[in-house]
Chains A and B, each alone.
Chain A
Amino acid sequence: MGSAIAVSPSSTIYKGKSGQWAFVLHRITGFLVFVFILLHVVDVATVNSPHIYNQIHQLYGNVFLRLFEVGLLFALLYHALNGLRVIMIDFFPSAIKNEKAVFFSMLGLAVLLTIVGGVIILRPFFTGSVH
């Protein structure tokens, strides 16, 4: 790790099929969740100023940030489930045989749970209680 010497920029582009997409998506979702943690630490840190804290959390309830919340749920679910897949492959090498099927199951499960959670998160928007 870490040595960029003698590695051409195109070397990160390889024809890895599902494994490559699993890896790319794992990085993107991990990065997004990490950025959210930084933001989240800041918003919770205002808890000793109740007025500001409550105002921020009212703001989190608007439609745009609710969509962002659903995106966060997907990133979290995908990263968690694909992480399990990575652990499986590392500790139980026989899992590599069904690596592709496991990837699509995890992706499917993440999408399904995001839809279920998304309906619950966005429900106030549909019932008209937020704008």
Chain B
Amino acid sequence: MALSLPSRSSSANRSSGVKPRQNFETWSWFFMRISGLILFFLALIHFFITHIEHDVTTTTVSFVASRWSNPFWRVFDWLLLALGLLHGSNGLRFIMDDYIRRPSSRAIVKSLVYGISGIMFLVGTMTIVTFR
């Protein structure tokens, strides 16, 4: 599939020295834009409902139960979980690549970050799916 990318496309994905071709980093760049755009709405709507419209102390179990009685909000929250973790761990990948210079340290920290993200994805998914 042909993707036409602008020639200057490098504020988060700084690979300007590399000649443009559609490798993993191209898709990573594209994913960050698309997921970012979706998360813009998901995250801000979620924050508005649970912190502005409702006070944080009133977001009790019964509040969650009434929200999750509607499958729409379960899907909404699960999308926010999945995209948030993917977008976040990919963003952290840029940071780790930039600031952790020893390859062995980088490998260890990366496995920790991806491992924790994966576990959190499973824990979050279980929470959303199994709550009744």
Contact = CB atoms under 8 A, between A and B. Distances in A.
Interface of A: 1-2, 4, 9, 12, 19, 23, 26-27, 30-31, 33-34, 37-38, 41-42, 44-45, 47-48, 50, 53-54, 57-58, 60-61, 66, 69, 72-73, 76-77, 80, 83-84, 86-87, 89-91, 93, 96, 117, 120-121, 124, 130
Contact of B36 (A53, A77, A83): A83
B55 A41 contact: no
A117 to B, nearest CB: 6
Given A41-B81, A90-B9, A50 B61 contact: yes
A41 B123 contact: yes
B4 to A, nearest CB: 10
Interface in B78-132: 81, 84-85, 88-89, 91-92, 94-95, 97-99, 101, 103, 116-117, 120, 123-124, 126-127, 130-131
Nearest to B88: A34
B61 A124 contact: no
Interface string B1-45: 000001111011111000000000100000001001101100110
Contacts, number: 125
Contacts of B15: 1
B97 A2 contact: yes
A84 B37 CA distance: 7
15 contacts: A1-B13, A1-B25, A9-B101, A31-B91, A31-B95, A34-B89, A37-B84, A44-B127, A47-B64, A48-B130, A53-B60, A54-B60, A76-B43, A86-B12, A87-B36
Interface of B: 6-9, 11-15, 25, 33, 36-37, 39-40, 43-44, 47, 51-52, 55-57, 59-61, 64, 81, 84-85, 88-89, 91-92, 94-95, 97-99, 101, 103, 116-117, 120, 123-124, 126-127, 130-131
User: A interface, by DSSP: helix, strand, loop or mixed?
Assistant: helix
A61 B55 contact: yes
B36 A91 contact: no
A17 to B, nearest CB: 14
